[in-house]
Amino acid sequence: MRNRSDDRAVTPSITWWQRWASWAGPVASGAAAAYGCVLLVAALMGYRSFLGVTDLGLPDVTWPGAAVLLVGSVVAAATVRPRGARVPPVAVSAGAWGVAVLALAGSCWVLLNLIQLVLTGTVTDRHGDSDWVTFAERLCLAVVGALFAATALAHSRRRAGVCPRCGRAHPPQASGRRYPAPHAAPPAVRRIAYTGCCAFLPYLVLHALGAAGVPGIEPDGFRPAWSMVLAGVCGVGLAVFLLLGLVRPWGMVFPRWTPWLAGRRVPRFLPLTPVWVVAPTLALYGTGSGILAGAGILGDGLFGIGGAASLAFGGYGWALAVAAVSYQLRTRPLCVPTAAL
């Protein structure tokens, strides 16, 4: 029986979305300039609550945020404008990646806002007050960070003399795309993914012990209902399914047990969109809370349920990020000449 994925292994044209390398730079420059100007005006008017950091007792970052975005706008423009060729390419790439990292770090809590929005229909700060402005700021930074990551990647590939879309060298008339055959991730990546799946075990075991009435597990004598534990197990099951799909062949082509879709290629955005929304928040939240727990500032230390939660979210988040990078590289389509189709 012929696998239907063979019929879809090659596409005869490249859509506007797949031409991201040509428009990511200008769009990133415009988005950063617009957001930077908004922040600049807000700072001049006395706004001092960018990302809600002052509410946490941290220094105001409104002025630095505006400066980073405005400088980033110039850097993104340098990746596509002729005058940008006068700037050392290493400096341009470093600047673009730097803005991407800072923007994504500033947006890392957007997942928690999205979860709260879905569950409650609103977004609040830690005091329970409405916090739509901070949510919008984080959401905008997430978009800017993604655009700058794409801009930096395209610029790096142009410097290397390869196709900015697929990262390989090929004739300029290549206008089709060939997708690789389904295959698993390298052994090292699979081991990291399996470790990330197991990172939830201590957290689930401690929750189950707390539900069973074992004292000293949950803070303040709280005893979770078994329905909460079951919901947690179901959530972890979905998380494990997503992570394993990134490292196994069935994450590239729908397996036989998926009705109506078996044999079809899995669109890359389908797993990668939720992954890159989830991974930064979980990785940074787990790592940060683990450091605070280890220092005795937060919760009951590393060996309590707080430490187990930090291990679960941080371990899974970093494993998810590693698996996602591997998945992107393994599923990256190869540009081919149209005549070869």
Residues 6 or more apart in contact with residue 295 via CB below 8 angstroms: none
Q: Which two tokens stand for residue 130?
A: 């409405």
Q: Quote the pLDDT of residue 1.
A: 39
Helices 201-211 + 305-330 axis angle, to 10: 140
Closest CA to 317 of 132, 128, 108: 108
Closest CA to 174 of 314, 285, 35, 339: 339
**Cα–Cα distance between 33 and 37 in angstroms, integer?**
6
Q: Quote the pLDDT of residue 72.
A: 95
Q: What is the 3-state secondary structure (H, E, C) of 168-195?
A: CCCCCCEEEEECCCCCCCCHHHHHHHHH
Cα dihedral 117, 120, 125, 130, rounded to 10, equals 90
Cα dihedral 91, 97, 103, 105, rounded to 10, equals -120
Q: Quote the pLDDT of residue 7.
A: 37
Domain range summary for the chain, segments of one domain joined by +: 12-169, 187-340
Residues 6 or more apart in contact with residue 93 via CB below 8 angstroms: 152, 155, 156, 159
Backbone angles phi, psi at 295, to 5 degrees: -85, 0
Closest CA to 97 of 28, 34, 163, 167: 28
b/e map 235-270, b = 16+ CB within 10 Å: ebeebbebbbbbbbeebbbbeeeeeeeebebbeeee
The secondary structure of 69-118 as a DSSP string is: HHHHHHHHHHTTSGGGGGS-HHHHHHHHHHHHHHHHHHTTTHHHHHHHHH
Cross-strand pairs, 178: 10, 334
The secondary structure of 286-330 as a DSSP string is: HHHHHHHHHTTSSTT-TTSHHHHHHHHHHHHHHHHHHHHHHHHHH
| pTM for this prediction | 0.75
Per-residue pLDDT of the chain (341 residues; tens, 9 = 90+): 334 444 345 555 566 676 788 889 999 999 999 999 999 999 999 998 888 877 766 788 899 999 999 999 999 999 988 877 788 889 999 999 999 999 988 887 888 888 788 778 888 887 788 889 999 999 999 999 999 999 999 999 888 888 877 777 777 666 677 888 899 999 999 999 999 999 999 988 888 888 888 877 777 667 778 888 888 889 899 999 999 999 999 999 988 888 888 888 898 888 988 888 888 888 888 887 788 777 666 666 667 777 888 889 999 999 999 999 999 989 988 777 765 44
Q: Do 310 and 278 meet the contact criterion of CB atoms below 8 Å apart?
A: no
**Cα–Cα distance between 323 and 246 in angstroms, integer?**
6
- 10 sits in the region (left: phi over 0; alpha: psi -120 to 50; else beta) called beta
Closest CA to 19 of 148, 181, 154: 154
Q: Which two tokens stand for residue 318?
A: 């970093």
Q: Quote the pLDDT of residue 161.
A: 83
